[in-house]
Structure 1
Amino acid sequence: MIKIDNKKKVFVLDGKNYSYIIYVNEAGTLQFVYYGKKVDGDDYLTSVYAKTLAPEPNGFNIDNAFNGMPSEYAFFGKGDYRAPSTLFVREDGFRASRFVYKSHEVVDGAPDFGSLPHARRGGKTLCIVLKDELSDMEISLNYTVFDDSDVIVRNAILRNCGKNKVRLNKAFSFCLELPDAQYDIMRLQGRWAQERMPEVTPIGKGTVRVDSSQGGSSHAMNPFAAILRKTCTETSGECIGVNLIYSGSFAITAEASCFGALRLQGGINDLNFEWILDGGEKFVTPQAALCYSAEGLGGMSREFADFFRNYIINPDRAFMRRPIVINNWEATYFDFNREKLFSIIDAAAPLGIDTFVLDDGWFGKRDDDKSGLGDWFVNEKKLEGGLKGVAEHCAEKGMKFGLWFEPEMVNEDSDLYRAHPDFAIGKRGVTPSRQRNQLILDFSRKDVVDYIYDAVSKVLKSCNISYVKWDMNRFMTEFYSEKLPYERQGELAHRYILGVYDLAHRLTSAFPNVFFEGCAGGGGRFDGGMLYYFSQIWTSDDTDAFERTKIQWGTSMCYPVSAMSCHVSACPNHQTQRITPLATRGIIASLGATGYELDLTKLDDCEKEEIKRQIASYKNIDELVLRGDLYRLSSPFNSNYFCEMLVSKDKSQAYVAGERIHGVPCDLNYIIKLKGLDPNKRYTVKELGITASGKTLENAGLLLPRLPDFGAWTWNITECK
């Protein structure tokens, strides 16, 4: 709901449980007032906060008032020494700006920004236009609110209303000013095979920066941050989460001023960013999803999960039963032929697996990672009968067929590179940095995107392909395009991501019956921007059943479990060499979109029966994965147990899955207290054969079974009728 006092220029935005209040102060600038638990918006005039922080027009120099004023979009200079939300340079080199209110309007629904992923539908949007007093620049600030969500979506549109060009050096999506900086900050940091590890540190004085400058959201840092009150826990206390709906280089900053206030803002990384705005042009920043929670990190996570499922992920896919796949990568790597693939398919069909995905190595001259990328035509010497033969064999066994692509990349040893070396990002004459022996195609160029679209489309039309795994195995280093002029080289990284979005949009639109999964060397580009096009993403290349508890725990801080692609792989694990029981691997993989990545032909009969049981059990709880609320019960980071719980929206069904990490002497009486159930309903815990109220299960809990190292358990809980 959006309420406006047009006389006082006060704007009250209410979500499900929060209020966000801003107003135009006496100086004409747009000022933050309040963000937190829902309040009575009619009381804004009595707010001590609003009155004491508004600069008075008389009695002091207004140009010196802004270093402590809570601005809704921070400008540069004119008395404010803190980092601005935007920085632009006019032709005479002048950089200072000060934005004042010009107009506002409220529209139904969420804005459609076309080339950028965005909240899809519903809600109402407040648009406030600000005019720079010192130039011809204008900024439109968009605020989209939903009555059924605690997420508010923000972005900014910068317009050059003059005739002369302006060079943007910074264009953040949002700015949030808070009256104090008594917060810690959580980031999801990591590296390849250890993505999204939660790390909480004090903010302190100065600026904390969470960012990626790699041309993608990266393994090292996710485009998410949360500020937490010192009393915030998993289940209680206040926090504010920020999730950028963007897949490129990003930055989120938290700046504690000398006056004790906190400026939280973020968007496209301003390092190595420039954008030329000619007269009349505009620049649209990515959307940022902000979530206030008074119910701790768990409350924030559940709101983000619902937001992504309801407003970001394709509604045709968001709640669709996920394919249960067998992927051949860890079974064969590049060493396969028709017979090997057919044997895996033959072994998979009786187990209940419904989709076979052929991974890297089926195209061009591709027997290792040194050649062939970019040559999207079938290597029929290696794969007799081509893709059609594999697809037909899958169909004969009652299975669907999926295929791996890496459309953004090229090997120098490829027909594509030999014909079009300028298609690759980099400068001629400068030896490029190589990762996995490959270069990045210049998706800032429409002709390159068009070429790849045509090549991939031809393959997808060649036979019955129902699943695509879209991979991306390196990030950007050279940041140079042969086709961009000198003054626009700073636009490359953002233009590249716009090209990725364009290709993703065109392919998913042209092939609506194909299920697309994202991947980036594992979980290197797990973000809201990619979830707009791909309803699930490969969570990590590390499939170890212990390491995955940490990765999935961290990922669930701001993404739904239905978006996490989670596979059972072979032991010893290919990434860690750890040996864990097959049952444990299946249980951990059940907390997401489950699948398999191992050589099924090497399993004995007992192992095959175990996989049959896993798949049958998963089909009983997959609606909880798709639609349920997640409660994190025991952390693998600070206890000997990992445990998570999925609860249906109507509180009638729940699923608990956990793992004991190590055997510890006398660790025999560990109790897990359940969350999310209706305290007044009675429930049956199937595996234990007991009946108890939701109140008892939450307050008294359940005693865990005695398990060996990396032993796991599940409880299926249903309401007594």
Structure 2
Amino acid sequence: MTTSRRWTLRTERTGYTVRLSPDGPWAELEAWGPHGAEHGPSALDWSHRTHFITPADAAPAEYLPQGLRPFTGADLIASRPGGERGVWWTFDGAVEEPGTLRLAFTDDVLGLRTTLCYATVPGTDVIHRWTELTCTGEEELRLERLDSAAVTVPVTEGARLTYLTGQWSQEFQHTQLDLTRGTFTMGSSQGVPGHAYAPWLAVQDAAAPHDAPAPTYGIALEWAGNWHIAAEAEPGGTVRVRAGRVAHEGAVRLAPGDTLTTPRLACAFSPDGLDGLSRVWHRYERRLAGGRLRRPRKVLYNSWEATGFDVDAASQLELAKAAADIGAELFVVDDGWFTGRADDTGGLGDWSPDPAAFPDGFDRFVDDVRALGLDFGLWIEPEAVSPASRLYAEHPEWVYRIDGRPARRVRNQLLLDLGRTDVQEFVLGTLDELLTGHHISYLKWDMNRPPTERGRPGAGLADHLDLDAEHVRGYLRVLDHLRTAHPDVTVEGCAGGGGRIDHTTLARTDVVWPSDNTAPLDRLAIQYGFLHAHAPHVMSSWVTDARGVFDPRPRSLAFRFVTAMCGVLGIGADLRHWTPDQLAEAAGWISRYKEVRDVVHHGEARLLGTVRDATCGVQYDAEDGHRVVVAAFSTGRLDGAPLVPGRPARLRLRGLDPTATYTDAASSTAYGGAHLLHYGLPLAWSADHDAELVVLTRH
């Protein structure tokens, strides 16, 4: 127990200073920024003028309940059944250890102990925050709001919020809003983070130039279920952001003696703008990967776009042979491999290979694929069930349903209640049987429908269900089992594309699928937003023949390959219809990718320009600085370029040594580092040349 009233947590490059407020029984933020920012008057100090509000409403509070903070947004709403909806607590001590801090507050009248928890993440500039709520009285408590934490950012002319929006097939769209007054909120009630918003937010001062590095604060909620993030422009020139999970039932019951732990909120800071903040998140996600990142992400071929549900051994082997010939290392059979799956109306839940599709046996088929030098993988949707399946006939009570109400079908399927222990055991047994019974080294976990009528048949009001949290816990339990029981299996996370991407998923999978949209310019925009929040080594990306949905302008095969090489390269096109020239070009790109993927997955990534610019790119710097890989794209008009006088486009690089020389491995052209920083890398675009991968070696 410490008697201090001021604490500083230090990360690699930043400090986060918390103090007990002199105005009341709460903790507040004093400083958050580079080392040393805590020395001097706090930028969050205020004038203490509180007309029509209370000091708690104006303070940069770390966490406050309704009761103490009645007007400008509380982080916790708790009550006894039939009692007042408020908490009035007192400070009950601090426990500080290296890299961690715990601040406790108690309300003995209500019977609630609230502990604010902090922990630095070694090797990163990320701080975890979460809250523990313990019922200390003799009556259960009702928690209507149970946010994880709140952070306060000082601003002069309002806050510039950067966030990621979209819909199915258009996820991770980079979006900005200047908030000068009022409240901005986003979230999901779909049981997953969702396609509409990512649980990620960056905050800058709106007065900062858009194109210059500026202090940038970021948060990411680590939760795979319902969630919300709210940013409020508060009195006195601050913006306060709070985030947490949202109970499906509207409230959570906390029994005497029980403790509820909220999801972690990851908090990050960079002085180098959004691009610098992205590298903070990338380093964090490389740490989440741990030793699994040392295994190269293999070049994948997935058969879905070639065959759909029409899966049979002969056609799959034909595709596998073509994939092996161009250098793929892994072959994944997608939907359609199991009994009853001729289309999307049946089969889900009955996870056994279809004997009609594999007449010589499924293991013989897998052996034939592996004989081509390919690893083998399968797609599966463990949480889904088809009404016509054997599983549903045997266990109709396992699906979400409200008694007396119809069960709506989405994509002709229902959703299993993964919060039930018996459903978890079924999923665990299914996956264990597949992964131990067959030589499978890759598993693509999909989820193609959110919960709609979310009830548990037979449950009564006295059961006090928390279905969203129970489902998340079941989902994470299964993923944790896969990590420990099948550590050599690569796991891909997918939910109709990018519907379930958060740090709890990323900590337990190896790659994720950002979107079902693989069209070139559409995908480039998706990946531009994605890389602001997530690392290249988790971003699975395919080369396909898909036409643009939102931007239908044609782009070359090279453009598609360079786009996919910005993360983890895969191919999803029907190679049986590619020409010999296309196959030869593909083999060349795959060979080049294998030479640079260590830099892409382990290096520092820098976003060069935006997808709204005529030329943009991504720069990857090797850990030792010896190699620089640049993926460059022409997103503008390509017609007329060879017919009129002009100069090459230039893409300014960043972070290079201005005194060093960098040589293009392909052309042997040497550039001074200062030249690349000042003028940029020259790129001569034309209708036949709209993307390039440049590898520079430092001398």
Please report the TM-score for the alignment, with normalisation by the length of structure 1: 0.91
Task: State the partner residue of 1:185.
Answer: 161
Query: 2:552 and 2:459 mapped to 1: Cα distance?
Result: 46
Of 625, 637, 645, the residue aligned with 2:619 is 645
Query: 2:261 and 2:674 mapped to 1: Cα distance?
Result: 49
Q: What is the letter of the counterpart of residue 421 of structure 2?
A: K
- Indicate whether 1:438 and 2:413 are aligned: yes
Contact 2:513 2:541 in 1 (8 A): yes
Task: State the partner residue of 2:584.
Answer: 609
CA deviations over 1:153-212 (Å, ceiling 9, x no partner): 111111112221111111111111334472111110001111010110111322100211
- Indicate whether 1:714 and 2:688 are aligned: no
CA deviations over 1:18-41 (Å, ceiling 9, x no partner): 221111134332222122232264
Report the alpha carbon displacement of residue 141 of structure 1 after superposing the two structures with TM.
1.4
Structure 2: gaps of 5 or more residues: none
Helix, strand or coil at the partner of 1:556:
helix
Task: State the partner residue of 1:701.
Answer: 680
Report the alpha carbon displacement of residue 148 of structure 1 after superposing the two structures with TM.
3.4
Task: State the partner residue of 2:173.
Answer: 197
Task: State the partner residue of 2:455.
Answer: 480
- Indicate whether 1:525 and 2:521 are aligned: no
Contact 2:603 2:623 in 1 (8 A): yes
- Indicate whether 1:597 and 2:593 are aligned: no
Task: State the partner residue of 1:402.
Answer: 377
Greater CA deviation, 687-696 or 332-341? 687-696
Of 340, 343, 346, the residue aligned with 1:371 is 346
Task: State the partner residue of 1:511.
Answer: 486
The count of aligned residue pairs is 691
Task: State the partner residue of 1:296.
Answer: 273
Greater CA deviation, 577-586 or 372-381? 577-586
CA deviations over 1:64-113 (Å, ceiling 9, x no partner): 432212221121024531221111121342211133321222345xxxxx
Contact 1:274 1:488 in 2 (8 A): no
Task: State the partner residue of 2:663.
Answer: 684
Matches within 5 A, 1:337-348: 337-348=312-323
Residues 261, 697 of structure 1: alpha-carbon distance in 2 compared, 3 angstrom cutoff: closer
- Indicate whether 1:35 and 2:32 are aligned: yes
Greater CA deviation, 657-666 or 603-612? 657-666
Contact 2:248 2:467 in 1 (8 A): no
Greater CA deviation, 582-591 or 703-712? 703-712
Q: What is the letter of the counterpart of residue 652 of structure 1?
A: H
CA deviations over 1:476-495 (Å, ceiling 9, x no partner): 22121225432556611121
- Aligned-residue CA RMSD (Å): 2.3
Q: What is the letter of the counterpart of residue 716 of structure 1?
A: V
Query: 2:302 and 2:122 mapped to 1: Cα distance?
Result: 41
Query: 2:423 and 2:247 mapped to 1: Cα distance?
Result: 26
Task: State the partner residue of 1:95.
Answer: 85
Q: What is the letter of the counterpart of residue 512 of structure 2?
A: I
Residues 88, 7 of structure 1: alpha-carbon distance in 2 compared, 3 angstrom cutoff: closer
Of 429, 435, 451, the residue aligned with 1:460 is 435
Greater CA deviation, 659-668 or 143-152? 659-668
Query: 1:573 and 1:24 mapped to 2: Cα distance?
Result: 54
Residues 631, 251 of structure 1: alpha-carbon distance in 2 compared, 3 angstrom cutoff: same
Helix, strand or coil at the partner of 1:153:
strand
CA deviations over 1:688-707 (Å, ceiling 9, x no partner): 43212222211121221122
Report the alpha carbon displacement of residue 234 of structure 1 after superposing the two structures with TM.
5.4
Helix, strand or coil at the partner of 1:75:
coil
Query: 2:571 and 2:619 mapped to 1: Cα distance?
Result: 22
Structure 1: gaps of 5 or more residues: 109-123
Query: 1:612 and 1:680 mapped to 2: Cα distance?
Result: 36
Of 211, 214, 219, the residue aligned with 2:190 is 214
Helix, strand or coil at the partner of 1:237:
coil
Report the alpha carbon displacement of residue 591 of structure 1 after superposing the two structures with TM.
0.3
Residues 49, 455 of structure 1: alpha-carbon distance in 2 compared, 3 angstrom cutoff: closer
CA deviations over 1:33-68 (Å, ceiling 9, x no partner): 122232264x46x5585585699xxxx99x943221
Q: What is the letter of the counterpart of residue 256 of structure 2?
A: G
CA deviations over 1:458-493 (Å, ceiling 9, x no partner): 122211100000001111221212254325566111
Q: What is the letter of the counterpart of residue 17 of structure 2?
A: I
Query: 2:336 and 2:30 mapped to 1: Cα distance?
Result: 57
CA deviations over 1:557-593 (Å, ceiling 9, x no partner): 1100111001111255699776432222111110000
Query: 1:38 and 1:484 mapped to 2: Cα distance?
Result: 53
Helix, strand or coil at the partner of 2:199:
strand
Helix, strand or coil at the partner of 1:167:
strand
Contact 1:187 1:210 in 2 (8 A): no
Matches within 5 A, 1:246-265: 246-265=223-242
Query: 2:550 and 2:371 mapped to 1: Cα distance?
Result: 34
Helix, strand or coil at the partner of 1:316:
helix
Residues 201, 50 of structure 1: alpha-carbon distance in 2 compared, 3 angstrom cutoff: closer
Greater CA deviation, 98-107 or 397-406? 98-107
Residues 664, 140 of structure 1: alpha-carbon distance in 2 compared, 3 angstrom cutoff: farther
Matches within 5 A, 1:72-111: 72-78=62-68, 80-107=70-97
Residues 576, 450 of structure 1: alpha-carbon distance in 2 compared, 3 angstrom cutoff: farther
CA deviations over 1:531-577 (Å, ceiling 9, x no partner): 01112101211111111110000000110011100111125569977
Of 156, 161, 164, the residue aligned with 2:139 is 164
Contact 1:173 1:286 in 2 (8 A): yes
Residues 54, 553 of structure 1: alpha-carbon distance in 2 compared, 3 angstrom cutoff: same
Task: State the partner residue of 1:126.
Answer: 101
Helix, strand or coil at the partner of 2:533:
coil
Q: What is the letter of the counterpart of residue 9 of structure 2?
A: L
Greater CA deviation, 429-438 or 524-533? 429-438
Greater CA deviation, 591-600 or 231-240? 231-240
Query: 2:528 and 2:328 mapped to 1: Cα distance?
Result: 26
Of 42, 61, 76, the residue aligned with 1:71 is 61
Task: State the partner residue of 1:424.
Answer: 399
Contact 2:384 2:416 in 1 (8 A): yes
Query: 2:428 and 2:463 mapped to 1: Cα distance?
Result: 25
Task: State the partner residue of 1:285.
Answer: 262
Query: 1:51 and 1:672 mapped to 2: Cα distance?
Result: 44
Report the alpha carbon displacement of residue 272 of structure 1 after superposing the two structures with TM.
4.2
Query: 1:217 and 1:350 mapped to 2: Cα distance?
Result: 38
Query: 2:359 and 2:550 mapped to 1: Cα distance?
Result: 31
Residues 690, 568 of structure 1: alpha-carbon distance in 2 compared, 3 angstrom cutoff: same
Query: 2:43 and 2:648 mapped to 1: Cα distance?
Result: 52
- Indicate whether 1:306 and 2:299 are aligned: no
Query: 1:710 and 1:283 mapped to 2: Cα distance?
Result: 57
Residues 710, 83 of structure 1: alpha-carbon distance in 2 compared, 3 angstrom cutoff: farther
Contact 2:639 2:686 in 1 (8 A): no
Helix, strand or coil at the partner of 2:633:
strand
Please report the TM-score for the alignment, with normalisation by the length of structure 2: 0.94
Helix, strand or coil at the partner of 2:8:
strand
Query: 2:296 and 2:614 mapped to 1: Cα distance?
Result: 33
Query: 2:182 and 2:165 mapped to 1: Cα distance?
Result: 20
Query: 1:378 and 1:489 mapped to 2: Cα distance?
Result: 40
Residues 572, 268 of structure 1: alpha-carbon distance in 2 compared, 3 angstrom cutoff: closer
Q: What is the letter of the counterpart of residue 185 of structure 1?
A: L
Residues 297, 224 of structure 1: alpha-carbon distance in 2 compared, 3 angstrom cutoff: same
Task: State the partner residue of 1:242.
Answer: 219
Residues 452, 630 of structure 1: alpha-carbon distance in 2 compared, 3 angstrom cutoff: same
Identity %: 28
Contact 1:195 1:551 in 2 (8 A): yes
CA deviations over 1:328-356 (Å, ceiling 9, x no partner): 10010011211101111122222211111
Contact 2:121 2:128 in 1 (8 A): no
